[in-house]
Chain A
Amino acid sequence: MKTSRRKVLSAGLATAALAGIGAPYITRAQQKPPRQARMVPQGDLNVLDPIWTTQNMAAYHGAMMYDTLFGIDANFRPQPQMVGRTDISTDRKTYTFELRPGLKWHDGTAVTARDCVASLRRWQAKDGAGQHLFARVTDTPVVDEKTFRIVLSEPYGLLLDALAKTSTPLCVMMKAEIAATDPNTQITKHIGSGPFRFIESEYRPGSRVVYERNADYVPRSEPASGIAGGKRVLLDKVIWDIIPDAQTAASALMAGEVDFYELPPIDILPTLTAAPGIKVEVFNKLGSVGQVRLNHLHPPFNNLSARKAAQLAINQEDIQRAAVGNPAYYRTCGSHFACDSAMGVEDGSEVLMMKAPMAQRQARARELLKESGYDGKPIVVLHATNIHVMNQTVLVVAQQLRQVGFNVQLASSDWGGVVTRRANQNAPEQGGWNVFYTFSGGNSTASPISLFAHAATGRKAWFGWPENASIEQMRTEWALASGLEARRAVAQRLNKTMMDYVHDVKTGQWVQPHAYRGDRLRGFLPIPENIPWWNVERYA
């Protein structure tokens, strides 16, 4: 069956070769396709410790070479991964986990309960959801080689969700001696137990990362779903080519030099899809959520009316049109917790989502701005010019703020410059700022406690430093609520409070299609905020 198909194929190609077309492809088609794939990821993998940093690429790396105790499935439910059996005590305060048999580190030794406890401890020191959980953890005793417990002071419904999360930092398992590294120091040895091995000798930060199949890996028997289920590896080698220039990456995909391009700019999709064999698909339905962060520490945005004026000035449709382009990939959204997610409630978003004509909204914004006592002092808007979506969005936001009477001064730099400056709590004229823009993954945004940007703890909160006791109280209430419906009810109140307080201003939500050689690869799993390479097969 297979042979005959290939015969037909090569016969066809031979004719093509006679006609003088497609010459470079003949040799490749006649051989069995190499069991390898090349991906152009969204950025560079320059830190190999997925706990030390919260950079997205480190989480991708984590999912390749490490394994997790639990994993989120396609329906966002936590499912066991390394864990074979889970026992929950009747008071719901003791969780007993037994590792499934056959788990091995890449150096051949067996995975033990001691390793897992050490890894949990290191992870929780860095992760927001982990910290929230461990504030209620009294002990993590090791029972035997394969069994350990998490003992809580009060029931915590999100325990398994936290262990199963797909967004950075993933709760990955490392060997105990590596996990003993101080969480604020980078690990130096890279031994995982995941489906792929990281080939350190071929690692070139800024250029390429190479993974090979872990032959010792024992996948679960369930079918793969989300980041859970059986991680069956069908490729021998996965190479990440770091190509920063979008035009070059797109050309490489069209020429077949790479197989998968994670973040093709949406504007050039028509060019890509016109090329034969290229498929464009959205894996992460929750996409990304944009937000304008206002500095709550300094005038004018320490004043609620001024913040409301900004909220009225923002027109999500215009921003998304400029930043994303094709309306098929974006939507306006009045939720702080990502629309289309389980928590995607839009209570209290009337001001932001007002259907009134823009002129009317702007008039109201001007009134509010006057009430706030804004004196026309320049407001500093941080502007990252080297990331397409950020550059476009900030230029639109600047124009929209100007139209309602803000005296906008753009502080342009690369993203590195924004990252440095946004941490400055001083007044704008002393190196601080008034407004900056960023976006976060829809999946992490959907959790009121997971995303640090949701915190309203003043100077201890995320950049912008909003301070609001009722928001904080409701976040905890949300985490402790049992069941989806109860949590949703809290989310509704929380969203309204955050909208009224103008915690930050959401600028809309969009999904990022990936472009890949559908004529070669199949079997991708839709997972939020990660690109797994198990289950993917090279068929031509």
Chain B
Amino acid sequence: MANSGTAEFIRRHPTIVAGAALLTLIALAAIFAPLIAGDPLVFEPINRLRGPSNTFWLGTDSLGRDVYARMVYGARISLLVGLSVAFIAVLSGSLVGLLAGYFEKVDAVVMRLMDGIMAIPSILLAIALVALLGASVKVVIIAIAIPEIPRVTRLVRAVVLTVRGLPFVEAARSNGTRIAKLLRRHILPSTIAPLIVQATYICASAILTEAGLSFLGAGTPPEFPTWGNMIASSRLYLQIAPWTIFAPGICLALVVLAVNLLGDGLRDRLDPRIARRM
């Protein structure tokens, strides 16, 4: 019975399953990186730009670092960037959105603020932040997250505005239910589904944005591997040492693909209408 249930789930939601499986695989690699790969930081310059071999499965980069080890460890930071950005954006965005949607006075001020942030091109904002505050994983995460917040805020606010008018919420309100409880009990749950979907897209685009920032010289510090900065710092070697760019490039594409598949699947399953409108 359980087996046929699983099979049925796979048949009905192939994208969720494929995306989740791929992500699990990558996450496992990230978690068990020390067991399956060597040190991603140390190097001997004499070994630079070596092709794939028994010692270096995927060759070495321009400093002589092991591309395979960096690729595996890169999963850690790339996923960390993607997940943290999604987490920060969704958390702060939904908090602001809940408040804005519920309190009309807050709404006007906050939404103008959000419109303002949204109006500044996200990549320029991010480059400026990284350039001025220095490149660290923390700064990059914040720099990518800030421009995402307004979109989440808008989404949550829209849901809150819809839900607030529903009879059962009206009833609870007139019964004198405390605001915090009202928000938590009645309004928050309706926002969960679209938020999860939104979070997957933010995660995928954060990983890509980090690569773009690295290209522009404003990404995560090159010492610690992310797929983005591996691609960006190897772009010079596209012709002479293609392995330095293909390994992280394929990983990046795969993980963005996986997250997108998962997002699409969840969107169709959880709440088609609201998510699709966004």
Residues of A within 8 A of B (CB): 246-247, 265, 267-268, 270-271, 318-319, 321-322, 325, 383, 385-386, 388, 391-392, 395-396, 398-399, 410-414, 416-417
Contacts and interface: CB of A to CB of B under 8 A. Distances in A.
A319 B43 CA distance: 12
B43 to A, nearest CB: 7
A410 B235 contact: no
Given A271-B239, A322-B45, A322-B62, A413 B134 contact: yes
Given A246-B236, A322-B64, A399-B42, 14 more contacts: A267-B49, A267-B237, A268-B240, A318-B46, A321-B45, A325-B62, A385-B221, A398-B223, A412-B222, A413-B131, A413-B135, A414-B135, A417-B132, A417-B134
Contact of A265 (B42, B223, B236): B236
B121 to A, nearest CB: 18
Contact of B240 (A267, A398, A416): A267
A268 B235 CA distance: 11
B221 A417 contact: no
A416 B44 CA distance: 29
B238 interface: yes
B274 interface: no
A270 B241 CA distance: 12
Contact of A270 (B64, B131, B136, B240): B240
B63 A412 contact: no
B107 to A, nearest CB: 39
A451 to B, nearest CB: 27
Contacts, number: 75
Contacts of B64: 322
Nearest to A248: B235
Interface in B84-140: 130-132, 134-136
A395 B223 contact: yes
Contacts of A398: 223
Given A267-B236, A267-B237, A392-B63, A410 B223 contact: yes
Nearest to A418: B134
Given A247-B235, A267-B62, A414-B131, A321 B48 contact: yes
A319 B136 CA distance: 24
Contacts of B218: 414
A410 B221 contact: yes
A412 B62 CA distance: 18
B135 A247 contact: no
B249 interface: no
Contacts of B223: 383, 395, 398, 410, 412
A383 B64 CA distance: 19
Given A267-B49, A385-B221, A398-B223, A412 B136 contact: yes
B217 interface: yes
Nearest to B223: A410
B64 to A, nearest CB: 7
Mostly, the A contact residues are: helix
Contact of A385 (B42, B45, B222): B222
Nearest to B131: A414
12 contacts: A246-B236, A247-B238, A318-B46, A322-B64, A383-B223, A385-B222, A388-B236, A391-B222, A391-B233, A398-B223, A413-B130, A413-B134
A412 B45 contact: no
Interface string B40-69: 011111101100000000000011100000
Interface in B226-278: 233, 235-240
Nearest to A318: B45
A153 to B, nearest CB: 48
B149 to A, nearest CB: 25
Contacts of B44: 318
B239 A268 contact: yes
Given A322-B63, A385-B222, A395-B63, A417 B239 contact: no
B218 to A, nearest CB: 7
A410 to B, nearest CB: 6
Contact of B131 (A265, A399, A416): A416
A416 B128 CA distance: 12
B29 to A, nearest CB: 25
A438 B63 CA distance: 18
B42 to A, nearest CB: 7
A385 B217 contact: yes
A229 B218 CA distance: 45
A405 to B, nearest CB: 16
Contacts of A399: 41-43
A411 B45 CA distance: 22
A304 to B, nearest CB: 29
Contacts of B135: 385, 412-414
Contacts of A321: 45-46, 48
Contacts of A411: 134
A254 to B, nearest CB: 10
A247 B240 CA distance: 12
Nearest to A420: B132
Contacts of B217: 385-386, 414
Contacts of A410: 221, 223
Contacts of A385: 135, 217, 221-222
Nearest to A412: B221
A381 B48 CA distance: 23
Contacts of A325: 48-49, 62
A271 B240 CA distance: 7
Nearest to A317: B45
Nearest to B64: A322
A388 B46 CA distance: 18
B233 to A, nearest CB: 8
Please indicate which of the listed interface residues A246, A383, A385, A392 has the most CB atoms of chain B within 10 Å of its own CB.
Answer: A385
A412 B134 contact: yes
Contacts of A247: 235-236, 238
Nearest to A411: B134
Contacts of A395: 63, 222-223
